[in-house]
Amino acid sequence: MPGNVSDIPGYTYGASTVAASSATLDDLQRLKISVDFTEQDERYLRMAGTVLEDQVERIVNHWRANIIAGIPHLARHSRSLDGSPLPDYLARSNRRFQQWILDTCLRPYDQDWLNYQQEIALRHTSVKKNQTDNVVSTSYVPYSDILAFLVVLNDTIKPYLEAKGHNESDVAHMHEAWRKSMHVQMALWAKPYMEIESSSLEW
């Protein structure tokens, strides 16, 4: 199991409380083919996992404290409705976000992974946002903002992939595998968003 996950608040990967994904393993296979995600990409993601393992705290801080916190229409999703900070919400979801980096790189993309993809997506929607940490904040993160922010995740991960002295080719392959995984994940997240009755409102 990647990392020590037992002390991560609200992290329920593989638990029986996580519903089965409405996307199937066949759907996942189809998406992998569409983005050309191969066994080579799987190997380079494992390499990326070992490279990123001790950097996940810094990476998530980079995304959330250095970037999201400075963009009001994004920052509000981790705050109370009056804009005041919710430090525990941030700290707890940061821990899960950090673990997701390791899960992306080191977990097999099996049924548990697929189920947790749906769970994470739902935790950004009005179906589940705020519940894990029992907070009052915005009711959902618009899907369009998530998709747009993907560019930032993809760009900013590069220096962290370079940080352990791998050659240019290895870094390029790790980066490519990361980007393909991000695309597959965002395609998967689109499904629960589209299944929400009020989906047009959460775009």
**Structure tokens belonging to residue 140:** 């959902």
Assess 113 for contact with ligand HEM (CB under 6 A). no
**What is the Cα gyration radius of the chain?**
16
Nearest distance from C-beta of residue 168 to ligand HEM, angstroms: 26
Assess 146 for contact with ligand HEM (CB under 6 A). yes
Assess 107 for contact with ligand HEM (CB under 6 A). no
**Structure tokens belonging to residue 113:** 């992974």
Q: Is the Cβ–Cβ distance between 178 and 155 less than 8 Å?
A: no
- In terms of CB distance, is 135 or 172 closer to ligand HEM? 135
Task: Choose, by CB under 6 A, the member of 37, 59, 124, 125 that binds ligand HEM.
Answer: 124
**Structure tokens belonging to residue 7:** 């002390």
Assess 112 for contact with ligand HEM (CB under 6 A). no
Task: Choose, by CB under 6 A, the member of 23, 45, 56, 74 that binds ligand HEM.
Answer: 74
Tokens 């390791």: give the residue: 102
- In terms of CB distance, is 137 or 166 closer to ligand HEM? 137
Which position's Cβ is nearest ligand HEM? Answer: 100
Q: At what angle do helices 168-195 and 143-156 cross, to 10 degrees?
A: 170
Total number of residues that touch ligand HEM (CB under 6 A):
23
Nearest distance from C-beta of residue 128 to ligand HEM, angstroms: 7
Nearest distance from C-beta of residue 57 to ligand HEM, angstroms: 14
Nearest distance from C-beta of residue 86 to ligand HEM, angstroms: 9
**Structure tokens belonging to residue 4:** 């020590």
By the 10 Å C-beta count (0-12 exposed, 13-18 middle, 19+ buried), 174 is classed as buried
CB neighbours (10 Å) of residue 130? Answer: 17
Nearest distance from C-beta of residue 182 to ligand HEM, angstroms: 7
| Rounded-to-10 torsion of CA 64, 70, 76, 80 | 80
Q: At what angle do helices 39-52 and 168-195 cross, to 10 degrees?
A: 100
Q: Which positions touch ligand HEM (CB under 6 A)?
A: 10-11, 68, 74, 77-78, 93, 96-97, 100, 120, 123-124, 129-130, 132-133, 141, 145-146, 149-150, 153
